[in-house]
Amino acid sequence: MDSNHKHYEIIKNSIEYVLEHFEEQPNLDVLAERVSLSPFHFQKVFRTWAGVSPKEFLQFVTVTHAKHLLKESNLLETTYSLGLSSTGRLHDLFVKLEAMTPGEFKRGGEGLILQYEVFPSSFGEILLVSSERGIQSLQFIDTLEQGISDTKKEFPNAIWKEGSSEEHKKIKDYFQKFLIPETPIPLYLYGTEFQFKVWKSLLKIPMGNLCTYGDIAESIRQPSAQRAVGTAIGKNPIAYLIPCHRVIQTSGLFGGYRWNPNRKRMIIAWEQSKLSSPNNELS
């Protein structure tokens, strides 16, 4: 098992325990015992994965910190809605969105050869599915069977083959080092015009920033469409690369996430931790 994935599983268990027993403020010894490690080893694993200590990391999973980030993003005017930040622009150019036609989708993927691969990441196992046109799906999974079953519901008539490709390699490399590839990753997705507007808007959110559903609605010039924005975000088929995890509620609550709300919370905290770490190498 990949060390980052193994570390994620250890830390996920400890963070879930903290969230369930937040009022008790469990200390390092309690968390280490929870995952059957010595306090020293647990601290080492945590620093390897997050770049900071458990105590520092835990401040990033709080609603209070999320509200602070929302306020800071607006004060600095670096939210994705302006589309002006260099990091936001970089990520916007990182992927290239192409729309599958309604006819292709209605045929259930007939004539498509879908290549799939599972690989470990810092946030759990990922199922990657692509055709010759581009990446069709990228999702965090608990089991391969469930992941494939969910994706096959959208493309029941496609031919499925296990395998890799150059685009797969780009994505796997990205999840190893989180460095923007030299050429864009093509995404070949089905969605309504409204959904594509929302997904493109998500691409402009820089790492380290958070925004609200209302911010997204404003950015696509449909300020009253917050509920529809939430639905479109929930339909996003590309985990992390289209960063829907960076959208939270105005209250600072983290909100839903199709790949588990606790994972969303951990990814947000991980990004904050990496950016605050003195050894930060993220682009």
Element (H or E) spanning 261, and its range? helix 261-276
Other CB atoms within 10 Å distance of the CB of residue 3: 12
Token pair, residue 232, equals 């479109």
CA atoms 67, 68, 69, 70: torsion sign: positive
Rounded distance, CA 256 to CA 120, Å? 23
Other CB atoms within 10 Å distance of the CB of residue 68: 14
Element (H or E) spanning 135, and its range? strand 134-140
Token pair, residue 65, equals 């910190």
Q: Which of 31, 69, 171, 244 is catalytic?
A: 244
Yes or no: say if 47 and 167 are a contact pair by the CB < 8 Å rule: no
Is-catalytic flag, 244? yes
Q: Write the CB contacts of 209 (distance below 8 Å, at least 6 apart in sequence).
A: 69, 73, 78, 79, 80, 85, 88, 246
Residues belonging to the active site: 244
